[in-house]
Structure 1
Amino acid sequence: MSRGVRKPRPWYKPRKSRRASRWALAVIVSLLLLAVLSARAGYKRLTGYPERPGQGSSDPITVTVPAGASFSEVLALLEEHEVIAPDEARAFKLFVLHRGAASKVTAGEHEFRGDMTPTQILDELQRRQPVQERRVTIPEGKHSVQIAQILAEAGLGGGEAQLLAAMRDPELLARLDIEGPSAEGYLFPDTYKFSTSASAAQIVERMVKRHHQVYAELRRGHSEGARSLAETLGWGDPEIVIMASLIEKETSQGAERPRIASVFINRLRFKSFKPKLLQTDPTIIYGCTVPERRSEACQQFEGRIRRIHLRDKDNPYNTYTHEGLPPGPISNPGRDALEAVLAPEKSRYLYFVSRNDGTHKFSKSVQEHEAAVNKYILGGAKGDGSVQK
């Protein structure tokens, strides 16, 4: 019986290098020791750093921290105003992060000195600011440019330019569920108290949210009216706001608003009324004064409507040359104007003309309207807001 062939054994046995392992272990231990010593030294420096005075001037330094500013932006302001030296910025940042205070900086004016300790600087950054508010009233029927002027004159929102930019900011409009190029029509007229540190976007957002709140209440209370407008004219919320903006500009008489709403709605609903022209002067004025791009005729507008403006087809807001509603609101309507659209008076009126005393004469036929025009227009000064065929 044959036996298997055995493999030959090596004549030597390899040994592991203990010297190399020892060297590797020594290097690792040394690195760890250096890291610990470095961290300990850094910790000692950091623990001593907060009470170390700065090397700057002892003169007062005022720094205004904007609302919503990030800590990096605040740190840049401190460097810019020489509250913190550039070579100390990283240490101050680590100190603030170690304290977990980066998000606790308050907006507003802060008083510093260049010789303050980091602890004193951080305490001042976290100091509760006295709330400064401005009370401002936005009247019904003002358009966006007028509202921006009112707010800017009250020292709010950073000025007219910033307020208008916020009113036209696509991202903000999308977040506020506004379809259109601006917040026109949704800046609810009311009396507000705004913080002087509130940004333009915060102011616009609050006014728009107030509109949504009031409009939602009205729509719930007049759901049948909203349904009727949707069925007969295909209107949704944007069209209701546009119509309310027209009514707001046509009269200051609250009792007349539902009747004026009925005139405009009748013109669009009645099949016998053609063309579907609303023929209201405030739409021309808006198109010639507010949009950034204006027609050639509007560039010649000097505050009074002339034939060139009545016949202007290049003004998209001209309801004498374009049927139906204008492309967007022409003012910011209040509660009564919005409610007038949702609950218009039931009438057969198709015309109205100013009596020159703040009220209007309403007519159902062309003949009746022409008689009123002869009496109130040809017999005296033409009143704003007359509706003529």
Structure 2
Amino acid sequence: MNDSKLSALFRFVGIVVLVLLLTAAFAGWRLWSGYTAFADRPLAAADTPRVLDIERGDSFRDVLRRLREAGVADGRDWQWQALAWQMDVARRLKVGEYAIDPGITPRGLLRKLEQGRVIQYRFTIVEGWNFRELRAALAAATALTHTLDGLSDAEVMAALGEPDTHPEGRFLPETYHYTRGTRDVDLLRRARQAMERTLAEVWAGRQEGLPIETPEQALILASLIEKETGAAHERPEIAGVFVRRLRIGMRLQTDPSVIYGMGDSYQGRIGRRGLDTDTPYNTYTRDGLPPTPIAMPGRAALEAAVNPKPGDTLYFVSRGDGTHHFSRTLAEHNHAVARYILGRGNTDNGSNNGNDGNDGNGRQ
């Protein structure tokens, strides 16, 4: 082969190699630009709520499969794997339930899985609930793992390590956050511990000279206050009435406690028979506090119980609007009963005091 032909061959080979190199470089550039665009482009599926579940033992390949099952079609598997390798997170993804948020990118989603920012559920214990209502709400919380269904109240308390404790009033009303799969008994234990802490704090700041001697009595009194009024500003004044009655040996005569003692026999009215039927919770027939709390008091009711408003009122009657009229004397109180109870018809809703023309704090 002469020099001219050899030179032409080299030129041809050079051109072919150059074309191949350019093609490879272009392909590489396309792959890289596609990868970088994928990593930081919002996921198409993230415009609607999606949930990704990562279970214990899942490999990164399992995570990708679950992503596809959740409706995330963006990117090729190799792109997700390359991104996880680049971020060094493939083996650090946390177990749990994750929301694929609107606008989230693949990079943002992998970081979220690495940090374990799982979906948080909320469970609220409402002020004034009794234990039966609390258990019904727990049973209806589908994200919880249910371990208490079918157990008696005593068995539930035993599961909490307090087999001899009456359950009423032992759980602090507030909102608790939890993740899917949390056991109902563990959530209940948190609420129990929160009540213990709060009661201890409140008791430490109590007024001097109260006619209650223990945190347990404060809890019982707070439950009565909680059930007597839904108006927050009235709680200290309600507490003042009860505390003054306890000091002078006057019966509390509070309807919510009577109703609690009636149990299933209460059908919307206490009536004379209910007032006269003796139970451990009938504060018309028995002196002092009832034997246990009758509901779950919130922190405000607990604070009112140990820091009652000073004054000289001994009676109160519902105005029918959620607030009460407070009186110093029985005569003034009877006048208020005639105005607010008899004047609108003899109603009885169990927390507003008013039975057969008598306020729950009116009979002597």
Smaller-chain TM-score bracket: 0.5 to 0.7
Q: 2:171 aligns with which of 161, 173, 187?
A: 187
Q: Could you tell me which amino acid in structure 1 is paired with residue 194 of structure 2? A: R
8 A contact 1:148–1:163 mirrored in 2: no
Question: Residues 100-119 of structure 1: matches in 2 within 5 Å?
Answer: none
Please state how far the C-alpha of 1:217 moved relative to its aligned partner: 2.9
Q: Could you tell me which amino acid in structure 2 is paired with residue 207 of structure 1? A: A
Alignment match, 2:293: 329
Please state how far the C-alpha of 1:304 moved relative to its aligned partner: 1.9
8 A contact 2:212–2:218 mirrored in 1: no
Q: Could you tell me which amino acid in structure 2 is paired with residue 213 of structure 1? A: R
**d(CA) in 1 for partners of 2:212, 2:256:** 24
SS of the residue corresponding to residue 258 of structure 1 reads helix
Q: Could you list the per-position Cα deviations for residues 271-317 of structure 1 after superposition, in whole angstroms to 9, with x for gaps in the alignment?
A: xx5xx32111111221223xxxxxxxxx543232122211111x211
For the pair 1:379 / 2:353, whether they are aligned, the reply is no
Give the share of equivalent positions with the same residue, in percent: 40
**d(CA) in 2 for partners of 1:164, 1:194:** 24
Question: Residues 243-322 of structure 1: matches in 2 within 5 Å?
Answer: 243-270=221-248, 276-289=250-263, 300-313=265-278, 315-322=279-286
Runs of 4+ in 1 over 3 A off after TM superposition: 106-109, 129-133, 159-168, 381-384
Query: If the length of structure 1 is used for normalisation, what is the TM-score?
Result: 0.57
Alignment match, 2:141: 154
Q: Could you tell me which amino acid in structure 2 is paired with residue 181 of structure 1? A: H
**d(CA) in 1 for partners of 2:362, 2:149:** 37
Please state how far the C-alpha of 1:330 moved relative to its aligned partner: 0.5
SS of the residue corresponding to residue 326 of structure 1 reads coil
Change (3 A) 1:329 1:107: farther
**d(CA) in 2 for partners of 1:264, 1:344:** 9
Alignment match, 2:329: 365
Structure 1, unmatched stretches of 5+, are: 1-63, 66-105, 110-128, 290-298
Q: Could you list the per-position Cα deviations for residues 50-106 of structure 1 after superposition, in whole angstroms to 9, with x for gaps in the alignment?
A: xxxxxxxxxxxxxx99xxxxxxxxxxxxxxxxxxxxxxxxxxxxxxxxxxxxxxxx9
For the pair 1:139 / 2:126, whether they are aligned, the reply is yes
Change (3 A) 1:319 1:206: same
In our comparison, the structure showing a higher alpha carbon Rg is 1
Q: Could you tell me which amino acid in structure 2 is paired with residue 254 of structure 1? A: A
Structure 2, unmatched stretches of 5+, are: 1-54, 57-93, 98-115, 354-360
**d(CA) in 1 for partners of 2:95, 2:283:** 47
**d(CA) in 1 for partners of 2:155, 2:175:** 19
Query: If the length of structure 2 is used for normalisation, what is the TM-score?
Result: 0.60
Please state how far the C-alpha of 1:234 moved relative to its aligned partner: 4.8
8 A contact 2:169–2:294 mirrored in 1: yes
